[in-house]
């Protein structure tokens, strides 16, 4: 038993263990898996009378293992798991039944590497000098000479007529004598490359002195700009050393020079010195004009709406060249009401100088124009808002399998959401996103080279130098997060991690990289994954997904029971997911015809990801915007007109039918604001056999600040949860309790007492938790609490493992006691449901009106139906107030009280509906 251990199943999930034991269907069947709750511990799972009993196996300080026993039962220690299993084959050892039949583990089907997509070569291993044989030394010398000769031969074919002779000699000498020494230094772990450093210093000696001469002049110019920004404040940087001998290295000075030039460029733009054309400097976001129709008394007239984001004004004009009739400042624009019946129609609610409310109704040329107008007004309100913190940001997500080829010169269309699908209007070209998340696969570039490329493109598109939040790479899979400079202090708790899912789950040619952080009071998670390729490898892709869920370590480490789908307010998952369209290879031409006709629905009905998602096997509770763009794989390179769906291999022709391999999905906590603005792919980036995919989202964020109150005078708030009933899809024979987790609670984790189990006829277990639980928040301020969520975890008492997790929004209980029902999941699988009631008590305080949300969003109201509800509510409110006054004057008491009670109930229901 010391060798192969058939009962040892490693990192399988609890539900997988139960399925395996159920299939065995014999009392005494058992297996051992890794514990989900304690690292280094195990779980012994035993089947008896169609129920699974779980016992925790714990190691001690001497690495001996024992089955966790009840109080009073003597503990027996064993040197190995094999010894423990051997002992428990004997009856009367304290288990529900003795071990009899070991359940064999199921072997995973491993991914076969494709010949043209092998993982990158590992660097040569270093051995101690005394272990190197003479033959190895000779081989090394021959390799070095070959390397030197190769570079010298290449040099002979180069045109060096414009290079000074001394530089030509220096380069030749480097390849003749120094390149091998540098290679040897690298193999020994020394990255300094002394030979290359000496060559660069020699070539750049004139540049060094030129920098020393130019730098002081630029700094003087910068100080002048600083004085313009802050008159009277003489805060100057220290003098830069001019002496060539005592200054920094050339590379660091060049970096300093580059940063300084960017700084000067930004300052000049802020002062409006760039683009001066006869009176008015060009704004960062230019003035945009929209031609619309205005309906009045059944007569349609043309109007011009002019949006000036920089000045914060919206102009109404009768003609493009005519005078401005009137304008409204940003804080006088109260609402934008989007019509759901006519997608190009918009109602603008404004406040006049006399504090009267006016509704102006316009029809745009199309929906994209209307959305572009709304985005510009949103940008205007954000730019001129007096609030210290934003309550909504825009997030760009891009995924691109680069096909091991460098990018073309121009990739700006990707970041501007231009191409096929749901795209942004041209009027939004100059609106920068707050956060850019870029995921790449088969990326041949180094981290710094790719980061510099993306930052340069964004600088050209937006005129902003974005800050790098994080970058993380696993072989050729990479994720990078950039943010606006003003958000730098709002972003904290940055984590990154990776998971390998390649061959035997040890190679990183497939897998995932992730980044997480807090934006003020809102948590974000981003995952970029490259899953197993091949049309027939659907199940392996599902396994990849589960492995990433279980082992990608991001977010708050205190949330141990929860995987990444529960740890974040907003989780975005992007990448080359490699799910294919399940058509026969003989139907390839038919598919191409459908794509050319832009008839995608028949193909999407056979999309593996959609089918697996609908069956609850992957991406449970994730949302994806409707796909209205062509399949992004597999194109002939340098064209987007032809799909290369056949591939000649030694084993025969392989088919890669056109498929939507590259996707963006998201999962958010309940009752938070998130809206997709764009989802599509580019047409003009053709260096890879994949097209880059883009998506942009409008995302609500919570402030980390709360209103200032006297803690002694403010009433204490509280959260009450009661009448909880869990229905668990399990055969486990154990007792359960509930854990509540939230950063808004005084005690971050609150546990309940055991529930009462009842077995259902369908094999599930109902657990009633009759006790009322009171959770105490750290702050009772309503503006803070209504943005918070409670994470719920149902756990077993025997091994402290999770049997399902879910989330409840405190906003659901904003007005009164509210019943909730949530789906419980664990490691991406549905494990049951939980019902209960929640009551929220907050301190008195008026919540700040925000720019988003169903009832709080002043610029978007979803339907006309809610307008009628609102009018009805106001009507009944006035009637209720009048009857109250009438009652105070001594009217018939019974009748009035009855009417007041009915009206109050109806008003409350209307208010909740709104």
Which tokens in the block code for residue 507?
């190679």
In this predicted structure, what is the pLDDT of residue 111?
A: 54
Residue 215: closest CA among 181, 260, 247, 245: 260
C-beta separation of 614 from 701 below 8 A: no
CA atoms within 13 A of residue 90's CA, in its CB half-sphere: 6
| Residue 396, beta-bridge partner list | 436, 696
In this predicted structure, what is the pLDDT of residue 567?
A: 96
C-beta separation of 632 from 691 below 8 A: yes
Conformational region of residue 505, where left means phi above 0, alpha means psi within -120 to 50, and beta covers everything else: left
Confidence of residue 903 (pLDDT cuts 50, 70, 90): low
Average pLDDT over residues 21-46: 93
Residue 838 burial class via C-beta count within 10 angstroms: exposed 0-12, middle 13-18, buried 19 and up: buried
Confidence of residue 2 (pLDDT cuts 50, 70, 90): very low
Residue 840: closest CA among 782, 904, 765: 782
In this predicted structure, what is the pLDDT of residue 293?
A: 92
In this predicted structure, what is the pLDDT of residue 260?
A: 67
C-beta separation of 377 from 333 below 8 A: yes
In this predicted structure, what is the pLDDT of residue 74?
A: 81
Phi and psi dihedrals of 154, rounded to 5? Answer: -60, -40
Look at the block and give the residue holding tokens 């050319």: 596
CA–CA distance, 634 with 141 (Å, rounded to integer): 44
Residue 599: closest CA among 591, 589, 611: 591
CA–CA distance, 566 with 677 (Å, rounded to integer): 24
C-beta separation of 350 from 358 below 8 A: yes
In this predicted structure, what is the pLDDT of residue 901?
A: 61
Question: What are the DSSP E strand ranges found in 489-540?
Answer: 491-500, 511-519, 522-530
Conformational region of residue 772, where left means phi above 0, alpha means psi within -120 to 50, and beta covers everything else: beta
More confident residue, 252 or 473: 473
CA–CA distance, 785 with 718 (Å, rounded to integer): 10
Average pLDDT over residues 628-654: 92
Whole-number percent of the chain with pLDDT over 70: 77
Average pLDDT over residues 584-610: 97
CB atoms within 10 A of CB 828: 22
In this predicted structure, what is the pLDDT of residue 824?
A: 97
Helical segments of 88-204, H only? 134-156, 165-173, 179-187, 194-203
In this predicted structure, what is the pLDDT of residue 241?
A: 43
More confident residue, 429 or 688: 688
C-beta separation of 379 from 434 below 8 A: no
Average pLDDT over residues 367-379: 89
Confidence of residue 240 (pLDDT cuts 50, 70, 90): very low
Per-residue burial over 93-108, b if 16 or more Cβ lie within 10 Å, else e, is eebebbbeebbebeee
Per-residue burial over 29-49, b if 16 or more Cβ lie within 10 Å, else e, is bbbbbebbebeebbbbbbbbe
Confidence of residue 117 (pLDDT cuts 50, 70, 90): very low
CA–CA distance, 146 with 148 (Å, rounded to integer): 5
C-beta separation of 528 from 439 below 8 A: yes
Per-residue burial over 325-364, b if 16 or more Cβ lie within 10 Å, else e, is eeebebebbbebbbbeeeebbbbbbbeeeeeeeeebebbb
In this predicted structure, what is the pLDDT of residue 710?
A: 46
More confident residue, 866 or 903: 903
In this predicted structure, what is the pLDDT of residue 225?
A: 60
CA atoms within 13 A of residue 691's CA, in its CB half-sphere: 31
Three-class DSSP category at 766: strand
In this predicted structure, what is the pLDDT of residue 806?
A: 97
In this predicted structure, what is the pLDDT of residue 152?
A: 78
CA–CA distance, 654 with 641 (Å, rounded to integer): 21
Give pLDDT tens digits for 825-865. 999 999 999 999 999 987 765 555 554 433 333 333 333 34
Which tokens in the block code for residue 448?
């710094």
Instruction: Name the helix (H) or strand (E) containing 265.
Output: helix 250-270
Confidence of residue 881 (pLDDT cuts 50, 70, 90): low
231: cis peptide before it, omega within 30°? no
Give pLDDT tens digits for 760-797. 888 899 999 988 999 999 888 888 899 999 999 999 99
Which tokens in the block code for residue 717?
């708030």
- Beta-strand relationship, 522-530 and 570-576: parallel
More confident residue, 302 or 387: 302
Whole-angstrom Cα Rg for the chain = 33
3-state helix/strand/coil string of 332-393: HEEEEEECCCCCCEEEEEEECCCCCEEEEEEECCCHHHHHHHHHHHHHHHHHHCCCCCCCEE
Instruction: Name the helix (H) or strand (E) containing 601.
Output: helix 601-604
In this predicted structure, what is the pLDDT of residue 43?
A: 95
Which tokens in the block code for residue 478?
């990479």
In this predicted structure, what is the pLDDT of residue 882?
A: 54
Instruction: Round to the nearest angstrom and report the end-to-end CA distance of the chain.
Output: 66
Q: Flag whether pLDDT at 223 surpasses 90.
A: no
Residue 695: closest CA among 899, 419, 502: 419
Q: What is the 3-state composition of the chain as percent helix, strand, coil, each rounded to the nearest 5?
A: 30, 30, 40
Give pLDDT tens digits for 87-100. 999 998 889 999 99
Highest mean pLDDT among 720-724, 748-752, 797-801, 881-885: 720-724
In this predicted structure, what is the pLDDT of residue 126?
A: 42
Q: Flag whether pLDDT at 431 surpasses 70.
A: yes
CA–CA distance, 215 with 208 (Å, rounded to integer): 11
Give pLDDT tens digits for 281-292. 344 788 999 999
In this predicted structure, what is the pLDDT of residue 898?
A: 61
In this predicted structure, what is the pLDDT of residue 856?
A: 34
Confidence of residue 507 (pLDDT cuts 50, 70, 90): confident
Average pLDDT over residues 352-356: 80
Average pLDDT over residues 472-478: 96
Q: Flag whether pLDDT at 114 surpasses 60.
A: no
Residue 563 burial class via C-beta count within 10 angstroms: exposed 0-12, middle 13-18, buried 19 and up: buried
Conformational region of residue 320, where left means phi above 0, alpha means psi within -120 to 50, and beta covers everything else: alpha
Average pLDDT over residues 479-505: 93
In this predicted structure, what is the pLDDT of residue 164?
A: 83
- The size of the chain, in residues, is 914
Which tokens in the block code for residue 422?
């749901």
CA–CA distance, 31 with 29 (Å, rounded to integer): 7
Q: What is the mean pLDDT of the chain?
A: 82
Whole-number percent of the chain with pLDDT over 90: 52
Average pLDDT over residues 268-273: 43
More confident residue, 606 or 113: 606
Three-class DSSP category at 302: strand
In this predicted structure, what is the pLDDT of residue 318?
A: 84
In this predicted structure, what is the pLDDT of residue 857?
A: 37
Phi and psi dihedrals of 134, rounded to 5? Answer: -65, -40
The region of weakest confidence among 595-604, 853-862, 904-913 is 853-862
Residue 528: closest CA among 551, 497, 505: 497
CB atoms within 10 A of CB 544: 26
In this predicted structure, what is the pLDDT of residue 199?
A: 78
Conformational region of residue 801, where left means phi above 0, alpha means psi within -120 to 50, and beta covers everything else: beta
Q: Which residues, at least 6 apart from 136, have a Cβ–Cβ distance to it below 8 Å?
A: none
The region of weakest confidence among 197-206, 262-271, 334-343 is 262-271
**CA–CA distance from 604 to each of 195, 262, 595, 623 (Å)?**
57, 46, 11, 16
Look at the block and give the residue holding tokens 């340098």: 638
Question: What are the DSSP E strand ranges found in 693-809?
Answer: 693-700, 718-728, 736-741, 749-751, 756-759, 765-769, 773-775, 789-796, 802-809
Q: Flag whether pLDDT at 257 surpasses 80.
A: no
CA–CA distance, 263 with 409 (Å, rounded to integer): 25
More confident residue, 884 or 539: 539
Average pLDDT over residues 106-111: 58
């Amino acid at each position: 038993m010391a060798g192969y251990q058939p009962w040892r199943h490693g990192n399988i999930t609890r539900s997988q263990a139960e399925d395996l034991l159920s299939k065995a269907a014999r009392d005494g069947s058992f297996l051992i898996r890794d514990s989900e709750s304690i690292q280094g511990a195990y779980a012994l799972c035993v089947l008896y009378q169609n129920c699974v009993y779980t016992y925790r196996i714990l190691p001690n300080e001497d690495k001996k293992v024992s089955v966790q026993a009840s109080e009073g039962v003597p503990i027996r220690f064993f040197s190995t798991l094999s010894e423990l299993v051997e002992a428990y084959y004997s009856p009367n050892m304290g288990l529900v039944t003795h071990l009899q039949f070991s359940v064999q583990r199921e072997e995973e089907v491993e991914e076969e590497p494709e010949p043209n997509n092998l993982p990158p070569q590992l660097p040569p291993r270093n051995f101690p000098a005394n272990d190197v044989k003479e033959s190895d030394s000779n081989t090394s010398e021959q390799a070095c000479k070959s390397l030197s000769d190769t570079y010298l031969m290449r040099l002979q074919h180069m045109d060096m007529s414009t290079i000074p002779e001394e530089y030509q000699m220096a380069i030749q000498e480097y390849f003749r004598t120094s390149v091998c020494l540098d290679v040897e230094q690298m193999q020994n772990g020394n990255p300094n490359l002394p030979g290359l450093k000496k060559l660069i210093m020699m070539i750049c000696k004139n540049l060094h002195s030129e920098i020393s001469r130019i730098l002081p002049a630029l700094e003087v110019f910068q100080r002048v700009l600083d004085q313009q920004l802050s008159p009277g404040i003489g805060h100057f940087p220290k003098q830069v050393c001019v002496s060539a001998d005592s200054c920094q290295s050339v590379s660091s000075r060049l970096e300093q020079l580059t940063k300084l030039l960017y700084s000067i460029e930004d300052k000049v733009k802020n002062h409006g010195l760039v683009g001066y054309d006869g009176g008015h400097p060009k704004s960062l976001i230019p003035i945009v004009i929209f031609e619309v129709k205005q309906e009045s008394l059944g007569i349609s007239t043309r109007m011009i709406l002019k949006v000036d984001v920089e000045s914060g004004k919206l102009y109404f004009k009768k003609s493009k060249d005519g005078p401005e009739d009137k304008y409204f400042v940003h804080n006088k624009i109260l609402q934008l009401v989007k019509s759901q019946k006519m997608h190009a129609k918009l109602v603008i609610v404004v406040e006049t100088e006399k504090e009267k409310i006016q509704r102006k109704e316009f029809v745009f040329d199309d929906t994209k124009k209307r959305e572009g107008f709304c985005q510009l007004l949103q940008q205007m309100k954000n730019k001129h808002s007096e609030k210290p913190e934003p309550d909504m940001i825009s997030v760009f997500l891009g995924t691109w399998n680069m096909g091991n080829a460098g990018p073309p010169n121009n990739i700006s269309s990707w970041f501007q959401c231009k191409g096929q699908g749901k795209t942004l209007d041209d009027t939004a070209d100059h609106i920068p996103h707050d956060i850019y998340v870029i995921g790449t696969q088969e990326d041949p570039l180094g981290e710094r080279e790719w980061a510099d490329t993306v930052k340069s493109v964004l600088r050209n598109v937006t005129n902003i130098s974005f800050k790098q939040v994080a970058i993380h790479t696993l072989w050729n899979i990479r994720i990078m997060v950039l943010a606006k400079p003003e958000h730098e202090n709002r972003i904290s708790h940055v984590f990154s991690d990776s998971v390998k899912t390649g061959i035997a789950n040890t190679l990183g040619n497939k897998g995932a990289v992730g980044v997480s952080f807090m934006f003020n009071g809102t948590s974000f998670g981003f995952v970029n994954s490259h899953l197993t390729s091949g049309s027939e490898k659907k199940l392996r892709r599902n396994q990849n997904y589960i492995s990433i869920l279980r082992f990608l370590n991001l977010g708050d480490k205190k949330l141990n029971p929860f995987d990444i789908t529960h740890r974040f307010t907003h989780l975005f998952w992007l990448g080359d997911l490699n799910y294919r369209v399940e058509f026969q290879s003989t139907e390839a031409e038919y598919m191409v015809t459908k794509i050319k006709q832009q008839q995608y629905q028949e193909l999407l009905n056979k999309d593996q990801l959609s089918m697996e998602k609908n069956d609850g096997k992957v991406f449970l509770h994730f949302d994806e915007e409707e796909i209205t763009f062509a399949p992004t794989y597999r194109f002939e390179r340098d064209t987007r007109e032809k799909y290369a769906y056949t591939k000649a291999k030694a084993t025969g022709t392989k088919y890669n039918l056109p498929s939507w391999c590259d996707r963006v999905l998201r999962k958010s906590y309940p009752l938070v604001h998130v809206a997709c603005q764009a989802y599509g792919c580019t047409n003009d980036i053709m260096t890879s056999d994949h097209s880059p995919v883009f998506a942009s989202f409008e995302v609500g964020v919570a402030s980390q600040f709360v209103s200032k109150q006297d803690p002694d005078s403010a009433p204490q708030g509280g959260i009450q949860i009661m009448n909880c009933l869990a229905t668990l899809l399990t055969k486990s024979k154990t007792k359960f309790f509930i854990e509540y987790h939230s950063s808004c609670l005084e005690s971050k984790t609150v546990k309940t007492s055991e529930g009462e189990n009842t077995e259902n006829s369908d094999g599930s277990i109902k657990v009633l938790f009759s006790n009322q639980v009171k959770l105490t928040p750290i702050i009772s301020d309503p503006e803070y609490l209504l943005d918070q969520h409670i994470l719920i975890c149902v756990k077993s008492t025997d091994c402290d493992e999770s049997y399902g997790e879910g989330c409840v929004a405190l906003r659901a209980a904003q007005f009164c006691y509210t019943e909730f029902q949530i789906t419980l999941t664990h490691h991406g699988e549905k494990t049951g449901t939980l019902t209960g009631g929640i009551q929220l008590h907050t301190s008195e305080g008026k919540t700040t009106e925000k720019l988003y949300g169903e009832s709080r969003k002043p610029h978007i109201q979803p339907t006309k139906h809610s307008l009628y509800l609102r009018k009805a509510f106001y009507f009944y409110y006035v009637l209720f107030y009048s009857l109250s006054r009438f009652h105070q004057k001594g009217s018939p008491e019974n009748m009035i009280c009855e009417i007041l009670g009915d009206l109050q109930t109806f008003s409350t229901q209307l208010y909740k509906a709104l």
